[in-house]
Amino acid sequence: MDEKTLSRCRERARIIKALAHPTRIFIVEVLAEREHCVCELTNMIGADMSTVSRHLALLKSAGIIADDKRGLQVFYRLVTPCALGFIECVESILEGNLCMQSKVLSYKR
């Protein structure tokens, strides 16, 4: 693999890793509906603000979300709705795995 290909693959992996946490997937799904301030997200997630802020910073660094400061509050919005397509693809894989497991279990009987 040449250096250019390796670099591109590393960057892709960085984006995928940014989505590779249940809380961050939840944030992306919630922000797909509408923007939210940190306090709203913190309440929805049920974690402390510093933990939620770290998740938001990671998603922002990956270019998946953006923020907008309004007075004392910071609002976040989804800027790459295609991330939802990736999450839907994962859901399809899960459904396929479930179907396969079901077939395997039915053969054992």
For 66-93, the pLDDT digits (tens) are 999 999 999 999 999 999 889 998 888 9
Query: Phi first, then psi: what are they for 47, rounded to 5°?
Result: -120, 170
Q: Average per-residue pLDDT in the chain?
A: 92
Tokens of residue 56, six digits: 């938001």
Query: Which pLDDT score is estimated for 101?
Result: 79
pTM listed for this prediction: 0.85
Minimal CA–CA distance to 24: which of 95, 93, 90, 97? 90
Query: Which pLDDT score is estimated for 95?
Result: 86
Q: Measured between alpha carbons, how far is 92 from 89 in angstroms, rounded to an integer?
A: 5
Q: Which of 19-23, 34-38, 51-55, 92-96 has the lowest mean pLDDT?
A: 92-96
Share of the chain above pLDDT 90, in %: 77
- Whether domain 3-80 has CATH 1.10.10.10: the reply is yes
Tokens 């923020």 appear where? 67
Query: Which pLDDT score is estimated for 109?
Result: 57
Domains of the chain, by residue range, sit at 3-80
